[in-house]
Amino acid sequence: MTLPRDYAEAWEIEVIILDICTEVCRRARQKKLIGSVVSVGVAALILIIQWDFIVK
């Protein structure tokens, strides 16, 4: 799932994770699946750019 924007606040991230888990559980119930654990993996791409300036 691609989110519409970046989230920085902890409470916003918690809400998104809860929404994703709720959606996964809803889909599992529709397929008549039974389980007791929902595992969520989260990855972030962080780009660090180093700028080297030559001052004359």
The pLDDT, as a whole number, for residue 5 is 84
State both tokens at 25. 């559980």
* 30 and 49 Cβ atoms separated by less than 8 Å: no
Q: Domain boundaries in the chain?
A: 1-38
Q: How confident is the model at residue 56 (pLDDT cuts 50, 70, 90)?
A: very low
Tell me the pLDDT tens digit for each residue of 7-48: 888 888 888 888 888 888 899 899 998 888 877 777 766 665
> Sorting pLDDT into bands at 50, 70 and 90, what band is 52?
low
Residue 26 backbone phi and psi in degrees, to 5 = -60, -45
- pTM recorded for the entire structure: 0.60
| CA distances, 7 to each of 12, 13, 42, 43, 55 (Å) | 6, 6, 13, 13, 37
Let me know the angle formed at the C-alpha of 5 by 22 and 3, rounded to the nearest 5 degrees. Answer: 35
